Structure 1
Amino acid sequence: MSATANSRRLTAALYVLSFLSLLSSTKSDDLQILLKLKSSLRTSTANTIFSSWNSTTPPCNFSGITCNSAGSVAEIELSHRSLSGVLPFDSICGLSSLEKLSLGFNFLSGEVTEDLRNCTKLKYLDLGNNNLFTGSFPDISLLSSLEFLYLNKSGLSGTFPWKSLANMTGLIQLSLGDNPFDPAPFPTEVVSLTKLNLLYLANCSLQGEIPAGIGNLVELVNLELSQNNITGNIPTEIGKLTKLWQLELYDNRLTGKLPAEMRNLTGLANFDASMNYLEGDLSELRFLTNLVTLQLFENNFSGKVPAEFGEFKKLVNLSLYTNNLTGPLPQKLGSWAEFGFIDVSENLLSGPIPPDMCKRGTMTMLLILQNNFTGGIPETYANCPTLRRFRVSKNSLSGVVPSGIWGLPAVNIIDLEYNNFEGSITSDIEKAKSLVQLFVGNNRLTGELPDEISGASSLVSIQLNDNRFSGKIPSSIGELKHLGTLHLENNKFTGSMPNSLGSCTSLNDINMANNLLSGEIPSTLGSLPSLNALNLSDNELSGRIPTSLASVRLSLLDLSHNKLSGQIPQSLSIAAYNGSFNGNPRLCSVEISTFRRCTSESGMSNSVRTLVICFAVGSAILVLVLTWFTYLKKWEKDDQERSLKEESWDVKSFHVLSFTEDEILDSIKQENLIGKGGSGNVYRVEASNGKELAVKHIWNTAGSKFGPKKARSTTPMLARGTSERSKEFDAEVRTLSSIRHVNVVKLYCSITSEDSSLLVYEYLPNGSLWDRLHGCQKMKLDWNARYEIAVGAAKGLEYLHHGCDRPVIHRDVKSSNILLDEFLKPRIADFGLAKMVQANKNGRQNSTHVIAGTHGYIAPEYGYTYKVNEKSDVYSFGVVLMELVTGKRPIEPEYGENKDIVSWVCSNLKSRESVLNLVDSDIPEALKEEAIKVLRIAVLCTNRLPETRPTMRRVVQMLEEAEPCKLVKILVTKDGSSKKIEASFDKNNNKLDPDF
C-alpha cells in the first residue's frame, strides 16, 4: 500500500473522529441546554412531561423533543403542558439546529429577550396564549426562515417591530392578535407576505385604513382584523382573496358600502363585519353561496335581504339586527342545513316568518322582535325541541299561537308582546321546565290561565297584561317559588285572589289592576319579604284592607276603585299613599281627611273610643312634659345638631315616603352615627313607623361653620355650596334617584339646605362586604354566599352601564360600597363620585376626565390618561372578585412594595397548585375549583388594557356560567342570544380548521 493511500486513509479517519467528537460535543451541549430549560420551568405534579428529562437519557428521547438525522435537537413541542416560569432564551437559542419552538397555552411569564433573534433557523415559533409575558417583543429580523409565528394573547405590549416582518417572506401563518400593543397603522410590511394563508391581527390596537395591498395576499384562507380602530372603506382589492374561508372585521369603525368585488369570494364561509358604520344593501353577498355564518348586526344597512339567501345550503347562523333592512325574509331560509339561530331584530322587515328554519330540529334562537312581520307563527316551531329563545314581540303577527310553543322543553323566554295573537295559553305549558320569562302582553289572548302553569317551575316573570284572559287565577301559581313579577292587569280575570300567592316568596311586583276580581285581599301578601309594588286597582275587591300590608316595604300601593270597607290601617294612612284608596266609599280613616271619620259602625266601639280618648288625653299631658324636657335639653346640644334645625330645608322625594323631614333631621346626632366617609357622616335612623333608614350628611361648602376646613378634590359635589352649585348636581342626583334595581341601593329622597345635604337611603343591616370580609364584623362567608354576592353586585353594575338611559359610571366600586341586606343580598351604594356618560356628536360615548376612586381599586389607565369609562368600573369590580375568592384586602404588606392584589394574583398564576393556594382557606377544598372559575373572570376584568376587559353584561354572563356545580356555555348578543361561533382559526390549537 502506498504512502499516499495511507495518508488519505489517515486523513479520512481524522475527519470521522473529528466529526464524531463534534457530534458528541453537540449532543452534550444540547443536553445541558435542555436541562437548564427544565430547571427554569415548573409544572403540576400530575404532568410527567419532564420525567424523562435527566442527564442519563439522550436528549432525543426526551418527551416533547424531536431530533434531526444528525442527532441534534430540531423541535421543542411543549404546548398545553401547564408550564410556568421564565424562559432562558439565551440558552434555548444555543440549540444550533432548532427549527421549531412551540410553547403556547401555558403560564409562561417574564420578558421575551433579544436573545431570541439568535434562533436563526427557526421555522415555527409559538409563544401564544400564555398571557403573562411582559414588555415589548424584540426585533427578530434575523429569523428570516420563519414560516409560522404565533404570539396571540401572550400579554406582550409596547411597540411591535413590524419592520422585522419584512425579511420573513416565507411566512405562512401570522397570529399577533389579542395583545395590547401601542396603536399603529395597518403594517405595510404584512401585505408583502404573499405566502400567508392565516393573518390574525384582531384586538391589537391597529388604526387607520386597510391598505389596498391586502389584495396581494392571494393565499389567505383566514383574515381576522376585528376589534381594532380601523376606519375607511373595505378596500375593493379584498375581492382578489378568492381563497378566503373566513373574514372577520367586526367592532371597528368601517364605513361605506360592501364593495362589488366581494362577490368574488365564493368560498367564504364565515363573514362578520358587525358593529361598524357600514351602509348600502346586501346585494353583493347573494353570490356567496357557501356562507355558513353571516354577522352584520349594528350597522346602517338598508334594502332587502337577498332572496338568494333562501337557497344557501350551508347557512346556519344569521345575525342582522339593528339595521334598516326592509322587505320579507326568504321563505326557504335555513331549511337546508342544521340551522342554529337567526337574529334580525330592530329592522323594518315585513312579510311572514320563514317556516322551516327548525326543519332539522337544531335551531336554538328565533329573534325577530321590533319589525313589521305579519301572518301567524308557523306550526313547525311548535316541534322544535332545541329552541331556547323565542322572541317575536313588537310586530304585526296574528292568529292562534300553536299549542306546542307553550311547552317547548328547552325554551327559557317566550316573548310575544305587542302583536295581535288570539287563542289561549294551553296546558302544554307544564312541559316548559326551562321557561324563565313569559311575555305575552298587549295581544288578544283569551281563555283561562291553566292550572298546569305551575309545571313551568323556573318561571321568574309572567306578564299577561292587556289581553282578554278570563276565569279564576289558578291557586297553583303559588307553587312558582322563583316568581318575581306577576302582571295580569287589563284583563277579565274573575273570582278571588289566591291565598297561595303568599308562598311565592320572591314576588316583588304584583299588578292585577283593571280586572273583575272579587273577595278579600289575601293577608298572606303581607308575608312576602321582597314585595315592592302592589297594584289591585279597578277591581271588585271587598272586605278590609289587611293590616299585614303594613309590614311590607311598598314603593307603590294602589287599591283604588274597589269595594273595600272598614278602617284604613293607620300605618298605611300616610301622605305617600295619597290616592291609593280612592274610589272605595265604604272605607273610613282616622288620619286621612278626605275619608269619613271612622264611627262605631266602622269598627270602633264606645268603650274603645273612651279608651282612645283617655289615652289621647294622657298622651297630650305626656307630650307637654316631654316637650318641656326636650326644650331644656335642647340647649345642651352641640352647635352642629342645633344648626340643622335652624336651616331652611328643601325635600325632593324619589320614592313613596313613609317618614317626615323632621324625623330625619331630629335623628342626625352622635348616638346614631354608624360610619364616616370621605363625603360625609352616615347615620342610622328609625322612623316612627319602625322603618330603618341610612342618612348621609354632606357639608356642601368648604368654609361652612361646622363643615370640613377643605373640601376633598376627589368629590366634586363637596367643592362648592348650594349658592355656587350649578343645576348639574341636582340633575345628577335626580338621575341616580331614578334607578330602580334590586341590586342598587334605594335613594328615597334628598333634603338640602344652604350649607349641607342629607341623602336618605334604605338601611342595609348587614353592613358592607368589606366589613364581612375584612372588618371588625368579619364573618365566615361560605362560597355560595360569596358567589351570590358577586352575581348580584355584577347585575347592579350591569344595570348602571347598560340599563339606564345614559350609562352611569360609578367610579368608586369597592367592597365597602357593596352593602348587604338581611339575606346577604348585595346593593351597589355610594354614588358620590358617579358620572353619567354623554354621547358625542358621532354617537360615541365620551369619558369622564376626573380622577376618582380608592387606592387598590383604581384602574391602571389613571397612570397615563384621565379618560375613564365603564371599563374602569369593570377593573374595580375585578378587584372585588379577587377579594371574594382570596379573602385578602386590595393592599396587603405581603404583596410587596408598590404591589396590590392584582399583581399578587397574576404573579401566582404559575401552576395549578399556586392558583389553588390563592383561594381563601375558609373555602373548602371541594369548592376551590368553583372559586377558581370566578378568579379567572377577575383576571379578565383586571386586564391592563381597558379595551380587553369584558363589559359588565359579559361579566354577568360569565359569572352565571360559573354557577357552582353547573357547567353552562352561553354565547351572547345584545339580546342574550349567540353572537358568533369560532371559525377556521382554532385558537386552542393555532391551526386552521381541518375542513376548510
Structure 2
Amino acid sequence: MPFCSFLFLLCFPLFSFALNQEGHILQAFKRSIEDRNHVFTSWNATDPDPCSWNGVTCDDRRQVISLELISSAISSTFPLQLCKLPHLLYLSLYNNTFHSILPPAISNCSTLEFLDLGQNLLTGPIPPSIADLRNLRYLDLSGNNFSGRIPATFGRFQQLEAFSLISNLVGGTIPPFLGNITSLRMMNLSYNSFDPGRIPPELGNLVNLEVLWLTGCKLRGEIPDTFSGLKNLVLLDLSSNNLTGAFPIALTELTHVTQIELFGNSLSGALPDTFSKLQALRMFDVSMNNFSGPIPSSLFELPLESLNVFKNNFEGSLPESMAKSRSLIEMKLFANKFTGSLPADLGKYSALESLDISDNFFSGSIPEGLCQKGALTEIMVINNRFSGELPSSLGNCHSLTRIRLGNNNFTGPVPENIWGLPDVSLLELANNTFSGTISKKIGNSKMLSMILISNNNFSGTIPKEIGSLKNLVEFSADHNKFIGNIPNSIMKLDRLAKLDLQNNKLSGLLDHRLDAWRRLSELNLANNNFSGKIPPEIAFLPVLNYLDLSGNQFSGEIPHGLQNLNLNVLNLSYNHLTGILPSYFERTMYKNSFLGNPGLCKGENDACDQIHSSRSGGRGRGKEECDEEGGCVWLQRSIFVFVGVTLFVGAILFHVKYKTRSLDIKSKWTMTSFQKLSFDYDDFVGSLDEDNVIGSGGSGLVYKIVLSNGETIAVKKLWSELPDDRNSTDLENNWSEVNVFDAEIMTLGEIRHKNIVKLLCCCTNGECKLLVYEYMPNGSLGDMLHGSKRELLDWQTRYKIALDAAEGLSYLHHDCVPPIVHRDVKSNNILLDAEFGAKIADFGIAVTVDISKDKSTSVIVGSCGYIAPEYAYTLNVNEKSDIFSYGMVILELITGRRPTDLECEENNLVKWVSTNLEGEGLNHILDPKLDSSHREEMLKVLKIGLLCTDPLPINRPPMRRVVTMLLEVRMDCNSIIARRKGRMTPYDFEDSENVV
C-alpha cells in the first residue's frame, strides 16, 4: 500500500503538467467567471489538449488562435488574462454581460486581428490604446455603453477593415481623422450620442469603403460632394438625421452601389435625372424627406437600359436570373411631396418586389404591368391622388402579401381576383370611391388578417365566405351600402379583434352565439337597422372595451352584465331600449351613452316614477279618495310596517349567515408572502366590502385597506365568475382569473425594482384569489392626467414620471433573465406614489420571451390606442410593442390627450402630433396646463416619444437607450440654462441604482 501511494504521488505531477501553457491560461479565465449556461463543461483540466474545448480553435501546430464565446451568459470584467495567449488572432465575446471599463492594457493582445465585444455592458471611454493593435482588421464595440469621443489615435490604424460602434453613448462629432483609415471596407457609427455636426468631407478618402452606415448620428448640413470618391461603395445609409439640401449628384456616380437609404432627413428639391449609371441599384429609400417634383425617368428606367446594353452583346434573349440581378426591386418614396404619374412601363422590365410611395401627391392610374415579373409583394400608395380603376392584372399577382391603396380617388369595382389573392395579409381600400360587391372569392385569401374597406360605395350583402378567414383580426367596412344580416360565419372568427360596420344598411337580429369572439376589443354597429334585444352574451366578451350600437332599432333591457366590462367607449343611444338603467352606468363618463331611449329611466329619479305611473293607465285612486272611503290610510300603514319588519328580520338573518360564512372562508385562506410583512391575511380579508372599492379593471376589483397598524395596502380581488370555458387551458386568455394570478406571481413575485409596483403577498382559499400590493396614494397616471387633479402634474413631475416608467421598462427588458414583455403599458397601468414617483403595475398578461426571437401569440392583448400597429396583425410579441406603448404614454403626458382622443385626426395621436409639430401647430400640441418656459425640453421629450412610436419596429430605440436619451435631455437643457446665467453647474443626477 505505501508503494502504491508513492507511485500515485509520483504520477500526479505528470497529470497536472500535461496541460500546456495555453490550457492553464484558459483554465484561469474559466475560474474567474460563473458558468451559468454550462458553456465550459468541456474545458476539462485533465484534458491535455485545449483544442478540443468548446469555442477554442487551434492551428496546424496545436496553438490556440481563436476563442469564440458568443451568447454564453458570461458576466465579468474584460478578461485581460486572455491577452497572454501568444498566438490569439480571433476573439469574440459577443452578446454577454462583460462590464466595467475596457482597460488600456487591451493593447497587450498584440496578436489580435479580430476583436468582437458587441452587445455587452462595457462603459467609460474607448481606450486609445486599441489603436496599438497593429494587426487589427475587425473591431466591433457595438451595443455597449462607451462614452466620450472616438480616440484620435484611431486615425493611425493601418489594416482595419471593419469598425462598428452602433448603439453606444459616444459624443462629440464624427471626427475627420477617420478618413485616414483608407483600409476600411465597413464603418458603422449609427445610434450614438454625437453632437450635431456635418459629415466630414474627409470620409470621401475611404476609397475601399463598401458599407457606410451613419443612421441616427445627428448629422446636419449637406451630403459632401467628396462622396463621389467612394467608388467601391455598395451600401450607403444616412437615414434618421437632419441632413438638408438637394439630393447630391455625387451619389449618382457610385456605380457599384446597390442600396441607398436617406430616409428620415430634411432633404428637398427634385431628384436629379442622372441615375443611369447606377446599374446595380436594388433598393432606393428616400422616404420621409421634403423631395418634390416628378420622379426622374432615369430612376424608373434603370433595368431597361441594363437590358439594352446586354442585348447588344449577346444573341437571343437575356437570362431571367441576370435581368433580376440588375433590377431595382425595392423603392420607398413615401412621405415626400412628389407629383406626377407613374411610368406606364413600371414593373415590366424589373422584378419589382416592393413599391411604397404613400403620402405624396402622385396622380394618374396604377400601371398595368406593375407585377409583370410576378415578384411584387407589397404595393403601398395610400394618401395620394391616384384615380381610375385598378388594373385587372393585379388579380393575377399571387406574390402580393400587402395591398394598401387607401385615401385616393380610385373608382369602379375591385377586380374579382384581387379579393381572392392567396397570400395577402392586409387589404386596405378605405377612403376611395370603389363600388360593387365583395367577391365570394375572398374565401380563398386564407392569410388575410386585416380588411379595411371603409368609406367607399360597396354594396350588396357581406359574403359568408369571410367566415373562413381564420386569421382575420380586423374587418372595417363602415360607411358603405351593405345590406342584409351579418353572416353567422363571422361569429366563428376566433381571432377577430375589431369589427366596424357602422353607417351601412344592415339589418336583422344579432346572433347570440358569440363564444368565439374571445379576442374582440371593438364592436361598432352604429347607424344600421339592427333590431331585437342586445344579446346578453356580449357581456362575456373578456377584452371588449369599445361598444357602439347606437342609431339602430334595438329594444328590451340593457344586459346587466355589461357592467362587468372595462369599456372605454359605450354608446347605446337612439334605440328603443326600456327598463331601469343599471346603477353602474349612472356615471359622468356615460352621460351621453343612452340618449334617445325614452323608455329608459334611472332607479330613483322623477322620470322613472312618471313612467311607472303612466303604465297603471290611471286606474289607481288618489289619496283624497282613500280618505273618503275610510280604511285606505290604515291599509297603507299596515303594508309599510309589514315590509319594514320583513326587511329588518331578513337583514339580521343575512348578517348571521354572512358572518358565519366569512369565518368559514377566513379559516381556509393560505397566504404566500414576497416581502417582509407586518400583517396577516386576517387583518384585511374582512374589509373587502363595497365601501373600500377604489377601482375596477378587466381582471377584478381593487380595494384600499387601512390596517390596524396604520399601514395602507391595495388588494386586487380577481373576478371569480369566468365565461363558460372556465376550464380552458388557453394560456393566452388574459381575462382568466388563473392566468392573471399566475402571471402576477411569476413576474412581480421575483423582481425588485424601484419603478415596479411591489407585490407584497397573494392569498387564495380555493374559490377566491387575492393579490396584495403596496398602496399608491396618487392612483394611476391616467386618472391623474385626465381628471380633476391634472394641475398637480407640472412639467417637472411629468418628466420624472416619464423617466421612472422608462427605467422600469428598461429593467424588465434588459436586466431580467429571461426578459419580460409587459404587453399592456398604458397610463392607467402606471401608478403614482405620494411623491409622484411612477411604478409600472398590472402584469396579468406579461410574458417572458427571448428578445432575440419574436414570440407568436394566439390572441391580441393590450388596450385600445396603445397597441403597436404590427402587433395587431402579426401577433408577434417582443419588446418593441412595449416601446410603442411607452411612446404613446409620452405623447399623452405632453399633449394631455388620450391616444383615442376623438379630436385627433383619425383618432391617431401619433399622426396628429407629427402633422402639427412645426410652426404654429406646435402650440396646439402642448398641454395648455404646462408652463411654456420648459418648451425646449418638452419638445425633445416629445421627439423621443415619436421615435418610440415609429411604425417600423426596428427603428424604435431600446428602453435602455430611451433612458439615456431622457437623461441627456435634462442634462442638455440644464447646461443651456446655466450658460444663459453665465455659469456652468454640474447636473445632479439621481442615484442610478434602480434595484431595491
TM-score range, shorter chain: 0.5 to 0.7
User: In the alignment, what sits opposite 1:290?
Assistant: 280
Counterparts of 2:288 and 2:807, CA distance in 1: 26
Counterparts of 1:333 and 1:240, CA distance in 2: 31
In the TM superposition, residue 300 of structure 1 has moved relative to its aligned partner by 1.9
Amino acid at match of 1:513: A
Q: Pick from 261, 274, 277 the counterpart of residue 266 of structure 2.
A: 277
Counterparts of 1:232 and 1:829, CA distance in 2: 47
Amino acid at match of 1:222: V
User: In the alignment, what sits opposite 1:211?
Assistant: 200
Amino acid at match of 1:365: E
Counterparts of 1:438 and 1:170, CA distance in 2: 55
Counterparts of 1:766 and 1:884, CA distance in 2: 26
User: In the alignment, what sits opposite 1:766?
Assistant: 718
User: In the alignment, what sits opposite 2:174?
Assistant: 186
Please give the secondary structure, in 2, of the residue aligned with 1:370. coil
In the TM superposition, residue 107 of structure 1 has moved relative to its aligned partner by 5.4
User: In the alignment, what sits opposite 2:876?
Assistant: 961
1:30-49 pair list within 5 angstroms:
32-37=24-29, 39-40=31-32
The answer to whether structure 1 residue 308 and structure 2 residue 298 are counterparts is: yes
Q: List per-residue Cα deviations over 1:89-111 (Å, max 9, x = no partner).
A: 65444455555545545555554
Tell me if structure 1 keeps the 8 A contact 2:403–2:427: yes
Structure 1 stretches lacking a partner, 5+ long: 1-24, 627-669, 676-680, 699-707, 709-761, 768-778, 792-810, 837-846, 853-866, 891-922, 939-950, 965-971, 982-996
Please give the secondary structure, in 1, of the residue aligned with 2:640. helix
User: In the alignment, what sits opposite 1:684?
Assistant: 693
User: In the alignment, what sits opposite 2:185?
Assistant: 197
- Larger mean Cα displacement after TM superposition, 269-278 or 406-415: 406-415
1:466-545 pair list within 5 angstroms:
466-501=479-514, 504-541=517-554, 544-545=556-557
Please give the secondary structure, in 1, of the residue aligned with 2:743. helix
Judged with a 3 Å threshold, the aligned counterparts in structure 2 of structure 1 residues 220 and 534 are, in CA distance, closer, same or farther, namely closer
Counterparts of 1:615 and 1:338, CA distance in 2: 92
The answer to whether structure 1 residue 442 and structure 2 residue 455 are counterparts is: yes
Counterparts of 1:74 and 1:467, CA distance in 2: 72
Amino acid at match of 2:796: V
Q: TM-score, normalised by structure 1?
A: 0.60
Q: Pick from 152, 177, 187 the counterpart of residue 166 of structure 2.
A: 177
In the TM superposition, residue 179 of structure 1 has moved relative to its aligned partner by 2.5
Counterparts of 2:256 and 2:596, CA distance in 1: 70
User: In the alignment, what sits opposite 1:155?
Assistant: 144
Judged with a 3 Å threshold, the aligned counterparts in structure 2 of structure 1 residues 286 and 815 are, in CA distance, closer, same or farther, namely farther
Q: Pick from 617, 640, 647 the counterpart of residue 618 of structure 1.
A: 640
In the TM superposition, residue 548 of structure 1 has moved relative to its aligned partner by 4.5
Amino acid at match of 2:287: F
Tell me if structure 2 keeps the 8 A contact 1:60–1:73: no
The answer to whether structure 1 residue 831 and structure 2 residue 781 are counterparts is: yes
1:108-119 pair list within 5 angstroms:
108-109=98-99, 111-119=101-109
User: In the alignment, what sits opposite 1:850?
Assistant: 796
1:29-178 pair list within 5 angstroms:
32-37=24-29, 39-40=31-32, 56-57=48-49, 64-67=56-59, 73=63, 75-78=65-68, 80=70, 82=72, 84=74, 86=76, 90-96=80-86, 98-104=88-94, 108-109=98-99, 111-122=101-112, 124-140=113-129, 143=132, 145-153=134-142, 155-160=144-149, 162-178=151-167
Please give the secondary structure, in 2, of the residue aligned with 1:261. helix
In the TM superposition, residue 510 of structure 1 has moved relative to its aligned partner by 3.5
Tell me if structure 1 keeps the 8 A contact 2:430–2:452: yes
The answer to whether structure 1 residue 266 and structure 2 residue 255 are counterparts is: yes
Judged with a 3 Å threshold, the aligned counterparts in structure 2 of structure 1 residues 441 and 823 are, in CA distance, closer, same or farther, namely farther
Counterparts of 2:538 and 2:579, CA distance in 1: 18
Please give the secondary structure, in 2, of the residue aligned with 1:153. coil
User: In the alignment, what sits opposite 1:656?
Assistant: none
Tell me if structure 2 keeps the 8 A contact 1:130–1:154: yes
Judged with a 3 Å threshold, the aligned counterparts in structure 2 of structure 1 residues 275 and 189 are, in CA distance, closer, same or farther, namely same
Structure 2 stretches lacking a partner, 5+ long: 1-16, 304-326, 627-631, 649-683, 720-735, 749-753, 787-792, 823-843, 856-865, 880-946, 957-996
For these two proteins, the number of residue pairs brought into alignment is 725
Tell me if structure 1 keeps the 8 A contact 2:120–2:143: yes
User: In the alignment, what sits opposite 1:876?
Assistant: 808
Please give the secondary structure, in 2, of the residue aligned with 1:178. coil
Tell me if structure 2 keeps the 8 A contact 1:233–1:256: yes
Please give the secondary structure, in 1, of the residue aligned with 2:267. strand
Q: List per-residue Cα deviations over 1:762-793 (Å, max 9, x = no partner).
A: 996439xxxxxxxxxxx9976996399999xx
In the TM superposition, residue 447 of structure 1 has moved relative to its aligned partner by 0.6
RMSD of aligned residue pairs (Cα, Å): 5.7
The answer to whether structure 1 residue 223 and structure 2 residue 212 are counterparts is: yes
Amino acid at match of 2:463: P
In the TM superposition, residue 492 of structure 1 has moved relative to its aligned partner by 1.9
User: In the alignment, what sits opposite 2:942?
Assistant: none
In the TM superposition, residue 544 of structure 1 has moved relative to its aligned partner by 3.2
- Larger mean Cα displacement after TM superposition, 295-304 or 242-251: 295-304
- Larger mean Cα displacement after TM superposition, 449-458 or 416-425: 449-458
The answer to whether structure 1 residue 933 and structure 2 residue 865 are counterparts is: no
Please give the secondary structure, in 2, of the residue aligned with 1:493. strand
Please give the secondary structure, in 1, of the residue aligned with 2:128. coil
Counterparts of 1:883 and 1:458, CA distance in 2: 35
Judged with a 3 Å threshold, the aligned counterparts in structure 2 of structure 1 residues 532 and 403 are, in CA distance, closer, same or farther, namely same
Tell me if structure 1 keeps the 8 A contact 2:25–2:82: yes
User: In the alignment, what sits opposite 1:322?
Assistant: 335
Tell me if structure 1 keeps the 8 A contact 2:755–2:804: no
Tell me if structure 2 keeps the 8 A contact 1:937–1:959: no
Judged with a 3 Å threshold, the aligned counterparts in structure 2 of structure 1 residues 516 and 190 are, in CA distance, closer, same or farther, namely same
Task: Answer 1 or 2: higher relative contact order, Cα 8 Å, separation at least 6.
Answer: 1
Judged with a 3 Å threshold, the aligned counterparts in structure 2 of structure 1 residues 765 and 46 are, in CA distance, closer, same or farther, namely closer
The answer to whether structure 1 residue 299 and structure 2 residue 289 are counterparts is: yes
Amino acid at match of 1:112: L
User: In the alignment, what sits opposite 1:352?
Assistant: 365
In the TM superposition, residue 177 of structure 1 has moved relative to its aligned partner by 2.6
In the TM superposition, residue 281 of structure 1 has moved relative to its aligned partner by 2.3
Q: List per-residue Cα deviations over 1:122-162 (Å, max 9, x = no partner).
A: 4x131232413344332226626234131232525133552
Judged with a 3 Å threshold, the aligned counterparts in structure 2 of structure 1 residues 445 and 974 are, in CA distance, closer, same or farther, namely farther
Judged with a 3 Å threshold, the aligned counterparts in structure 2 of structure 1 residues 886 and 515 are, in CA distance, closer, same or farther, namely closer
In the TM superposition, residue 82 of structure 1 has moved relative to its aligned partner by 3.2
Counterparts of 1:431 and 1:72, CA distance in 2: 61
Tell me if structure 2 keeps the 8 A contact 1:150–1:175: yes
User: In the alignment, what sits opposite 1:388?
Assistant: 401
Counterparts of 1:417 and 1:958, CA distance in 2: 17
Counterparts of 2:425 and 2:71, CA distance in 1: 39
In the TM superposition, residue 241 of structure 1 has moved relative to its aligned partner by 0.7
Q: Pick from 242, 255, 269 the counterpart of residue 231 of structure 2.
A: 242
Counterparts of 2:400 and 2:951, CA distance in 1: 14
Please give the secondary structure, in 1, of the residue aligned with 2:338. strand
Tell me if structure 2 keeps the 8 A contact 1:121–1:143: no
Counterparts of 2:512 and 2:621, CA distance in 1: 31
Q: List per-residue Cα deviations over 1:915-968 (Å, max 9, x = no partner).
A: xxxxxxxx9xxxx9x845159999xxxxxxxxxxxx99599799953489xxxx
Amino acid at match of 2:640: G
Judged with a 3 Å threshold, the aligned counterparts in structure 2 of structure 1 residues 161 and 263 are, in CA distance, closer, same or farther, namely closer
User: In the alignment, what sits opposite 1:753?
Assistant: none
Counterparts of 1:788 and 1:430, CA distance in 2: 43
Tell me if structure 2 keeps the 8 A contact 1:786–1:884: no
In the TM superposition, residue 419 of structure 1 has moved relative to its aligned partner by 0.3
In the TM superposition, residue 237 of structure 1 has moved relative to its aligned partner by 0.9
Q: TM-score, normalised by structure 2?
A: 0.60
Tell me if structure 1 keeps the 8 A contact 2:27–2:43: no
Judged with a 3 Å threshold, the aligned counterparts in structure 2 of structure 1 residues 603 and 431 are, in CA distance, closer, same or farther, namely farther
